[in-house]
Amino acid sequence: MRRVISVLSVLLALAFAFPLTLTDDLGRTVTVKAPPKRIVTMLPSVTETVCALGACDRIVATDDYSDWPERVKALPKAGGLYNPNPEFIVSLKPDLVLVSKYGRLYETLERAGLTVYAVRTETYEDIFRTTRTLGKLLGLEAQAERLVAQIQREVYQEESRAAKATTRPRVYYEIDPTPYTVGPESFIGVLIQKARGVNVIPKELGLFPKIAPEFVVEKNPEVIVATYPGALETIRARPGWSRVKAVQTGRICVFTGGQDSLLSRPGPRVAQGLRLLVDCFHGR
Amino acid sequence: MTRALPLALRRSLVFFWLLLLLLLALVLGVAMGAVSLPPGEVFQALLGLTENPIVTEMRLPRVLGGMLVGAALGVAGASFQGLFRNPLADPYLMGSAAGAAFAVTLLASLLGGLAPAFAQHAIFQSLPLPATLFGFLGALSATFLTLVLAGGAARTGELVLAGVVVGSVLTGATTYLMMQDADRVRAVFAYTLGNLAFMGWPSVKAMVLFFLLALPPLLLLGRVLNALQLGEEVARSMGLPLEGLKLLLLLAASLLVAAAVAQAGIIGFVGLITPHLLRRLLDEDYRLLLPASALGGAVLLTLADLLARTLTRPAELPVGVVTTLLGGPFFLYLMWRRRGRA
């Protein structure tokens, strides 16, 4: 009897929830008539969140870079941010397409009559905001609240582990050898802070500045984190960098081959990314 | 003002100013940067009295390396313009720089599959010498392709059109190769807009080596370029083995382009503007124009890089953005003034 009531109440809630009208991250008004059953996600972090909500089987295609959980690797791929394949997306007849707020893919898909919701996943807070929004869109609000609580609990565990450390190392984080780095207010910048590291980059430089190498040498970071292949050799070979403490003590953490996704995607696996940083800054 | 002076005096003055500016660029380039250092400290570090790797390992080689890259582009631009008797022939517009970049990237991506570190190395560190020679072949092939497509160098419009098309196609191919690795969009920017961030002593040594190879023939052939300006018939009638000498000029200029691209990526406008500016002051004498373009290119790129690394410090701008933003309007100003006079 209780089960029947709970099923009924869910159905009732759904009946009232849909059609649902929301404002997406581009400020567009989007109406979803019924809980979507054929979803295309064009952002790896959104793919991860949809699956973490237990709706992986509703996804019919993803962008080229979505690779977690394992089962989405087998799904058809509809291109990336710079080279999306709108014709293919339309041919799949999805009832919801989740796209990045960057790029103009939504215009094309909208003209083709599809329901398109643009998402921004850039900051740490975006993880929870997006999870709740997707919960609403998919009719999985209770699951979304549970997922938010779970992610926050996992993050808290890592934060308390980091809090036990007695030192806060100076950190330089390199996302590309040009070199591009991360500012304190970027998603990775927030993770560095949560892992009890001190980013050597001032926040005035913005989210992803191209930094002057001599500035990094002057700041003399104790730990360097890099997320591209061959980073160790590249950084060690740079003129003048042999004097940097992190290079001298060998405290250069290189995360590639999937680990970098944990740090670059504001999604449900954020605590795993944070764990990498805590281990790197303070040891296991 | 300078026009009123006798030619010989004017020419000496131009070289005097170029050397003075070069010295100024050197001093400013080493004294200023993302990190503020007192002049005394910089001076002591240079003399070896105190140890400061920012001065001796980073700024000094970066400034010297930038000078050599700028000089290479300047002198290559002057050679191309003289060789093809075309004021718009420069390494950038002829597709030569794009050819070198494509060849280097192709090599990096072919070997990169075996060792990812090499791909990084090729773009952001001093390139191994054999790879520069590969770039040299790329520069040479692209130039020949441009010449074939344009039906020779004589027709200005066709030459520029063919050069721009060859350059665009090759840059497109380079971008494609780089994008094979996800998240390399920034690397593409670094390469197509130039990057002097990691010029170290190995880069400086490599540039010096290529200069020693390429500069003597170019400077000795200034007389041939002068003769060429009178037309091939006249040059041939002077008893010059023209085809061989032209090939030698092309080889030497392409080698400099390849060396510059291998160390710093593609940097536009230096090779176009420098000879133009100096030609107005020195007249059409390539014996002087070639060394002056080397000096001028060195000054121009060093100052552009100084702006690139101090305007938004401690962040940096791509140096190609600075050369284009400064060089473009300046070039248009020159054109406008010339039109006003004509």
Judge whether A102 is closer than 8 Å to chain B, CB to CB: no
ipTM for the predicted complex comes to 0.81
Give pLDDT tens digits for B72-100. 999 999 999 998 888 778 888 888 999 99
Residue B114 has a pLDDT of 38
Burial class (CB in 10 A: 0-12, 13-18, 19+), B231: exposed
Question: In this complex, do A212 and B314 lie within 8 Å of one another by their Cβ atoms?
Answer: yes
Shortest Cα distance, chain B CAs vs residue A119, angstroms: 20
**B181 touches B175 (CB < 8 A):** no
Give pLDDT tens digits for A239-262. 899 999 999 999 999 998 889 999
Nearest residue in A to B202, CA atom:
A239
Judge whether B309 is closer than 8 Å to chain A, CB to CB: yes
Q: What is the mean pLDDT of residues B204-230?
A: 91
* Cβ-based contacts of A243 with chain B (< 8 Å): 53, 57
* Cβ-based contacts of A177 with chain B (< 8 Å): 120, 123-124, 187
Q: Which of A37-51, A88-102, B179-193 has the lowest mean pLDDT?
A: B179-193
Give pLDDT tens digits for B114-147. 344 444 444 555 556 777 888 899 999 999 999 8
For residue B213, pLDDT over 90 is answered with yes
Give pLDDT tens digits for B274-314. 998 898 888 889 999 999 999 999 999 999 999 999 998 88
Q: Please, what sign has the CA dihedral across residues B319, A247, A183, A23?
A: positive
Q: What is the mean pLDDT of residues B26-44?
A: 92
- pLDDT > 70 fraction of chain B, expressed in percent and rounded: 88
Residue A155 has a pLDDT of 97
Give pLDDT tens digits for B222-245. 988 998 888 888 888 888 788 888
Considering only the beta carbons, identify the residue of B57, B182, B185 that sits closest to A240.
B57
Whether the model clears a pTM of 0.90, i.e. scores above it, the answer is no
The third-level CATH classification (topology) of the domain covering A2-119 is Rossmann fold (3.40.50)
Which residue blocks in A30-123 are alpha helix, DSSP H?
A: 44-52, 86-91, 105-111
Shortest Cα distance, chain B CAs vs residue A261, angstroms: 11
Nearest residue in B to A232, CA atom:
B117
Beta-carbon-side half-sphere exposure of residue B48 (alpha carbons within 13 Å): 0
Judge whether A220 is closer than 8 Å to chain B, CB to CB: no
Residue B90 has a pLDDT of 83
Give one DSSP letter per residue of B41-110, joined into a string: HHHHHHHTSS--HIIIIIIHHHHHHHHHHHHHHHHHHHHHHHHTT-TT--TTTTTHHHHHHHHHHHHHHH
Tokens standing for residue B112: 């990169």
Q: Which of A178, A228, A233, A255 to mutate to test the interface with B (most CBs of B within 10 A)?
A: A178
Chain-centroid distance of CA B219 in Å reads 16
Domains of chain B, residue spans: 2-341
In whole angstroms, what is the distance from residue B254 CA to residue B256 CA? 5
Question: In this complex, do B189 and A179 lie within 8 Å of one another by their Cβ atoms?
Answer: no
Q: What is the mean pLDDT of residues A270-277?
A: 97
Amino acid occupying residue B118 = F
What integer best gives the mean pLDDT of chain B? Answer: 85
Residue B192 has a pLDDT of 76
For residue B253, pLDDT over 80 is answered with yes
In whole angstroms, what is the distance from residue A134 CA to residue A117 CA? 10
Q: What is the mean pLDDT of residues A270-282?
A: 96
Judge whether B187 is closer than 8 Å to chain A, CB to CB: yes
Q: What is the mean pLDDT of residues A20-25?
A: 93
The third-level CATH classification (topology) of the domain covering B2-341 is ABC transporter involved in vitamin B12 uptake, BtuC (1.10.3470)
Amino acid occupying residue A123 = T
In whole angstroms, what is the distance from residue B268 CA to residue B256 CA? 14
Q: What is the mean pLDDT of residues A73-91?
A: 91
Smallest CA-to-CA distance from A188 within A100, A281, A124, A232 is with: A124
**B82 touches B225 (CB < 8 A):** yes
Residue B119 has a pLDDT of 45
Domains of chain A, residue spans: 2-119, 164-282
Chain-centroid distance of CA A82 in Å reads 18
Residue with tokens 């449900």: A268
pLDDT band, residue B329 (cuts 50/70/90):
confident
**A227 touches A174 (CB < 8 A):** yes
Which residues, 6 or more positions from A132, have their beta carbon under 8 angstroms from its beta carbon? Answer: A141, A144, A145, A148
Nearest residue in B to A264, CA atom:
B183
Give pLDDT tens digits for A123-155. 899 999 999 999 999 999 999 999 999 999 999
* Cβ-based contacts of A228 with chain B (< 8 Å): 120, 183
CATH number of A164-282: 3.40.50.1980
Q: Answer whether A2-119 and A164-282 agree in fold.
A: yes
Question: In this complex, do B183 and A180 lie within 8 Å of one another by their Cβ atoms?
Answer: no
Size of interface A-B (CB pairs under 8 A): 106
For residue A5, pLDDT over 90 is answered with no
Q: What is the mean pLDDT of residues B30-49?
A: 91
Longest Cα–Cα distance in chain B: 63
First to last CA, chain B: 18
In whole angstroms, what is the distance from residue B18 CA to residue B27 CA? 14
For residue B113, pLDDT over 60 is answered with no
